[in-house]
Amino acid sequence: MAERKISGGIYHAARKKKKYELPSQTRIVKLGKEKRKIIRVLGGRKKPVLISTDIVNLIDKKTKKSVKAKIKNVIETPSNKFLARQNILIKSAIIDTDKGKARITNRPSQEGSVQAELIVEESKK
């Protein structure tokens, strides 16, 4: 919606957006069988992006080791609680894997994989 001047008139944009300034269609990475897509980006390069996956590269902070794990479920997403219900993988989402709970540290919609770190559960006294 156009902004208004103090006098009540409408500010008119100097020009329309160029093709490279337009936003691309949002990609949603869902939990499911692995599917990838290769898209063309600015400069003609190719970028592999995820559409759905059930595999995560899990990093254990204590041992400094990385292993592949299977994602069981999305437990919660701090940015939007409705995304967890739909099993959508985004950055900082807490997921349940076969190795334990983990937090996603990368942006799966922009990269071709899911990276996460194990969450250390503190024992209650």
Domain 27-118 in CATH 3.10.290.70? The answer is yes
Q: How many CA atoms lie within 13 A of 113 on its CB side?
A: 8
| Whole-number percent of the chain with pLDDT over 90 | 69
Length of the chain: 125
Q: Output the pLDDT for position 97.
A: 94
What global pTM score does this model have?
0.79
Instruction: Confirm if 59 and 117 have CB atoms less than 8 A apart.
Output: yes
What's the mean pLDDT in 14-38? 91
**Residues 37-49 pLDDT 10s:** 999 988 899 999 9
Where are the chain's structural domains?
27-118
Instruction: Confirm if 51 and 30 have CB atoms less than 8 A apart.
Output: yes
As a dihedral over the C-alpha atoms of residue 84, residue 85, residue 89, residue 90, rounded to 10 degrees, the angle is -40
Instruction: Confirm if 80 and 19 have CB atoms less than 8 A apart.
Output: no
- Average pLDDT taken over every residue of the chain: 90
